[in-house]
Amino acid sequence: LPLFDRLERRIVDGDRNGLEADLDAGMEEKDPLEIINETLLAGMKTVGELFGAGKMQLPFVLASAEVMKAAVAYLEPHMEATDNSGKGKILLATVKGDVHDIGKNLVDIILSNNGYDVVNIGIKQPINAILEAAEENKVDAIGMSGLLVKSTVVMKDNLQEMNERGVADKYPVLLGGAALTRSYVENDLGELFQGDVRYAKDAFEGLRLMDSVMT
Ligand code: B1M
């Protein structure tokens, strides 16, 4: 297979052997973010489709996720970082009950490389832990990620909880993850939340939104 097809295949097959060598060769032709966006994410998309169609079992999905993470970790030090640091601080968490963190960690990388301080508190985080960490770290915004359909409900509850605690105005909220839709966030959640809630389709929209929130 040609190099980039082979790399995409490695994600689908969960095959780590020779991954670094292929990534090194890939970086001679493309920059790391292009490789992630065009090649690695295409592989994860296929994994999702196969799993959704019952053609791939969970342990294999996990193996694919691990190769994806290893590839991103290998590429990260090669990414261009801007030097305008200190643009603001954001807390990132995957919401309660949800373990999916590849997207959230990509958002972390993109924001960190573009001048933001990111406090990434990990997966399965209840709203209590999110708000405590936000307070402790004096963040400017809160970002929540979740891929399960039930996470969209958890996010709604979280926003309601922020209303009740009177902190809706304090933190603009950024939401992302495959089960969300723009209209659910902007219309349904926007109506209910007493602060500023935005939908990010991908990590780059997350960056644009942070830039607009911070200026
Ligand atoms: Co899971 N899983 N999974 N899974 N998994 C999905 C989400 C699913 C759609 C697969 C399917 O059925 N086709 C399905 C959900 C269905 C539903 O809710 N209706 C599903 C399921 C069912 C499950 C389990 C329940 C399976 C089981 O146990 N029977 C289980 C859930 C466990 C739990 O959470 N409690 C489970 C487990 C797993 C693994 C552990 C095996 C693994 C996760 C490993 C990990 O993350 N460490 C896994 C994976 C890999 C997937 C799929 C195949 C791929 C997800 C992924 O990493 N995509 C996924 C299929 C799919 O999404 N279509 C699936 C790549 C990633 C970069 O995309 O996270 O969407 P994503 O991020 C994007 C944007 O959404 C956005 O930016 C990124 C791109 O730039 N974004 C943000 C995300 N967060 C953001 C936050 C922002 C801004 C943008 O600001 C804060």
- Segment 70-116, tens digit of pLDDT: 999 999 999 988 777 789 999 999 999 999 999 999 999 999 999 99
Which residue's CA is the closest to the ligand 1 atom numbered 87?
176
Query: Rg of the chain over CA atoms, in angstroms?
Result: 18
Burial class of residue 196, CB neighbours in 10 A (0-12, 13-18, 19+): middle
| ipTM value for the complex | 0.98
Which residue's CA is the closest to the ligand 1 atom numbered 18?
148
78 catalytically annotated = no
CA distances to 9, 47, 74, 102, 154 from 55, rounded to whole Å, are 16, 9, 29, 22, 29
- Segment 140-168, tens digit of pLDDT: 999 999 999 999 999 999 999 999 999 99
Q: Angle of helix 58-75 relative to helix 41-52, nearest 10 degrees?
A: 170
Q: Which of 98, 101, 108, 140 is catalytic?
A: 98
10: Cβ below 6 Å to ligand 1? no
Q: Distance from the CA of 72 to the center of ligand 1, in angstroms?
A: 16
Q: Distance from the CA of 160 to the center of ligand 1, in angstroms?
A: 24
**What's the pTM value of the predicted model, to 2 decimals?**
0.95
